[in-house]
Amino acid sequence: MQGRPRTLVDKIWDSHLVSAETAETPAVLYVDLHLVHEVTSPQAFSELRARGLKLRRADRTVATMDHSIPTRLATNGKRALAVGAAGEQVKALEKNCKDFGVPLYAVGDERQGIVHVIGPELGLTQPGFTIVCGDSHTSTHGAFGALAFGIGTSEVGHVLATQCLLQRRPKTFAVEFSGRLAPGVTAKDLILGLIARIGTAGASGHALEYRGSAIRALSMDERMTVCNMSIEAGARAGLVGPDETTYEYLAGRPFAPKGASWDAALARWRALPSDDGAAFDEELHIDAEEIQPMITWGTSPGMGIPVRGVVPDPKGDASLEKALRYMGLEAGKPLLGRKVDVVFIGSCTNSRLSDLREAAKVLRGRRVAAGVRALVVPGSQSVKQQAEAEGLDRVFRDAGAEWREPGCSMCLGMNDDRLEPGQYAVSTSNRNFEGRQGKGGRTFLASPTTAAVAAVRGAIADAREVLS
Amino acid sequence: MKPVTQIRSRTVVLPIDNVDTDQIIPARFLVTTSRDGLGGLLFADWRFDEKGQQRADFVLNRPEAQGARVLVAGRNFGCGSSREHAVWALQAFGIDAVVSTAFADIFRANALKNGLLPVQVDEDAQAALFGAPGAEVVIDVAGGTLSTGERRATFPLEPFARYCVLNGLDELSFLLTREAEISAFEAAAGSVPWRTS
């Protein structure tokens, strides 16, 4: 098929085929990088033990702890340790990594952090790679022009033992964002706007490729925010073709190629972007200028509205009515001015340095409103150190927010960072599902800027108005 | 994995779209190192109230739902987190098949690796099942059909997954037979630089 224009996904797919798919059998797809964490791996290691299998490629496997670990300090000033079942799970990861030879960035290691934050910052994530992890937000790594997707625990076992997966080629879906984002509109608004438009199953079976001038103008941190939430549109993956922004980010990272290897890698990477005329299974064009700051009102990431909008009429739809009831909201009413109890700034969607800088811009010289609890949870030890070097921790503390240790924290409430029943939170994370941040808790998803403004106001507000 | 050729059961109907895996099993229960014992946690926050008592109005708690092994749900079932615990919890509770008009990709893959059948039907077939909770259905894996009395719907199944479900085979065993090809691929790709420290 020499000469046929190919997409980015085609090129990565074709170069990782141990064997191509047939009508009867899926492709055997080779995995370049396998990221492992404490929650979705123990049963996979047990399977390997039961079958007497070894880890195939320790050099392509990296583990960390992020989901269930506490992010607070204990009374002795040291980081609190996981206890009970979570403690057992962390110990299981330590033992599994030791027994099977997996490099582990445990709590206490300066490379520890949320799995989708540390992969990129260490330079483990590279263009053209296939990357998997037992976590749906693995799509984050697609920001580098990698084919990155979440897998279940059975598949974690497959990759540990064989470095391969049985897969059918995903269909492709190009979303072109033309123009530029308006001032005060962020990457989070862009992706929440897309999901509100195409729905939570809008990209099922597809790999999204984000294209266009508005995407090119985004930093790597911002592209990661966009690709991160591809899964909330149902996509198997979300990618951005690599460009100078990508290479500039990667240069000098610990695991990025060096010297002659860098030059060779760069030559390979430059050939990755989709060819002119490459055909996608689906295409959509969005004028980036029309995107407004977004916030979700319901219990699915697709239930998003402009922050100045009103809660929609469910028109008899049982699922929408259920969401309205759970959220305690009324159709036709605005969200502006609605009181919030908690603000969470963190998660693999928005816990990188630039996210913290955006939140700090709002909180500098201001106070978190009385009665509001605000948590700022950096995505990694590296992010935490950089933020502290810039004095951002002081900004947050002075404003009355909690400055935490790195982890997934209140995004999914697996540790003790949870909403109380009935509480409302503005959260920079990725899911507003019922009880996601704590049983009975109610989540509004938004950007770090909108979240920080809500912390200051004690209510949902339009950041453009507050900051102007 | 046990071979599955046919499922014959009453249905239990949950007509909600976008049932996510956080509902199927909330994240706070994922602090386990086992795949067993999750049946009691299925839909924990929908089945139980604040005091841990069963909510009488939730479909899975109703007397007529007891013993039903086919769950009929709304569109985009299993969206969200990749947790395979969702599949393990459904199976441990006694569910053998989920019927919907669409499944989230990762959930579908996880289900098939455990012999839980994702039965994707069209909206007409779903509406008929929604309208007749507790209907007796017969799901035929080889033929890809779901029958209710005279009515018959078809559903797609990826051929290899169908073969594995019918024969109780797991993918890992298949992948392990491809060792020579995997090694050959690695040798050919050996020039690609990787970890430098």
- Residue B1: its pLDDT value, please? 86
* Whether A150 and B82 lie within 8 Å, measured CB to CB: yes
pTM tops 0.80, yes or no:
yes
Q: Are B158 and B166 in contact (CB under 8 A)?
A: no
Of B111, B118, B116, which is closest to residue B82 (Cα–Cα)? B111
Reported as a pLDDT band with limits 50, 70 and 90, residue B194 is low
Show the beta-strand stretches assigned E in A65-108: 104-105
Residue B192 pLDDT > 80, yes or no? no
Q: Chain B within 8 Å of A314 (Cβ-Cβ)?
A: no
Q: What is the DSSP string of A364-409?
A: TT--PPTT-EEEE--SBHHHHHHHHHTTHHHHHHHHT-EE--SS-G
Q: How far is A401 from chain B (nearest CA, A)?
A: 25
| Six token digits for residue A449 | 């800027």
- A162, A165, A324, A431, best to mutate vs chain B, most B CBs in 10 Å: A162
Average pLDDT of the segment spanning B148-166: 97
pLDDT at B62 exceeding the cut of 50: yes
Residues 22-61 of A with CB under 8 A from B: 23-26, 28, 30, 32, 39-40, 42-43, 46-47, 51, 53, 59-60
- Element holding A185 (H helix, E strand): none
Give A302's contacts in chain B (Cβ within 8 Å). Answer: 18
pLDDT for residue A425: 98
pLDDT band at B197 (very low <50, low <70, confident <90, very high): very low
B154 pLDDT more than 60 = yes
The whole-number average pLDDT for the span A158-171 is 98
- Bridge partners of residue A226, in order along the sequence: none
CA distance linking residue B125 with residue B100, whole number of Å: 9
- pLDDT attached to residue A466: 86
- Torsion angle (degrees, nearest 10) of CA B17, B18, B23, B25: 120
pLDDT in tens, B113-144: 999 999 999 999 999 999 999 999 999 999 99
For residue A467, what pLDDT band results from cuts at 50, 70 and 90? confident
Q: Is pLDDT above 50 for A421?
A: yes
Pick from B19, B23, B28, B46 the residue to mutate for testing the A interface (most A CBs within 10 Å). B28
Token representation of residue A256? 């990025």
Q: Residues A12-30: pLDDT tens digits?
A: 999 999 999 999 999 999 9
Q: Does A394 touch chain B (CB under 8 A)?
A: no
Which parts of A137-181 fold into alpha helices (H)? Answer: 153-162
Angle at B32 between CA A349 and CA A161, to 5 degrees: 80
| pLDDT number for residue A18 | 97
Using the structure block, give the residue that is written with the tokens 């962390």: A90
3-class DSSP assignment, residue A425: strand
pLDDT higher than threshold 60 for residue A1: no
Contact A186, A216 (CB under 8 A): no
Total length of chain A: 468
Q: Which two tokens stand for residue B148?
A: 């209710």
Taking an 8 Å cut-off on Cβ atoms, the answer to whether A433 and B80 are in contact is: yes
With H, G, I as helix, E, B as strand and everything else as coil, classify residue A16: coil
Question: Which tokens hold the place of A392?
Answer: 């951002």
Q: Do A439 and B197 touch (CB under 8 A)?
A: no
Mean pLDDT of chain B, nearest integer: 95
Helices A392-399, A381-389: axis angle to 10 degrees equals 80
| CA distances in angstroms from B155 to A243, B74, B98, B102, B134, listed in the order given | 42, 16, 12, 11, 20
Q: How far apart are CA A172 and CA A187, in angstroms?
A: 22
Confidence band of A325 (pLDDT split at 50, 70, 90) = very high
Pairwise CB contact (< 8 Å): B26 & A255: no
DSSP A246: H
Question: A195 and A233 in contact (C-beta within 8 Å)?
Answer: yes
Residue A67 pLDDT > 80: yes
pLDDT value for B93? 98
The pair phi, psi for residue A298, each rounded to 5°, is -115, -150
Mean pLDDT across chain A: 97
Strand A164-167 to strand A147-150: parallel, antiparallel, or no bridges (unpaired)?
unpaired
Query: CA B166 to CA B58: how far, in whole Å?
Result: 33
Determine the pLDDT at residue B196: 41
ipTM > 0.90, yes or no? yes
- Return the exposure string of A288-310: e unless at least 16 CB atoms fall within 10 Å of the residue's CB, then b: beebbbbbbbbbbbbbbbbbebe
Query: Among all residues of chain A, which has the CA nearest to that of B77?
Result: A201
CB contact under 8 A, A414 and B104: no
Q: How far apart are CA A207 and CA A229, in angstroms?
A: 12
Torsion of CA A135, A136, A141, A142, to 10 degrees: 150
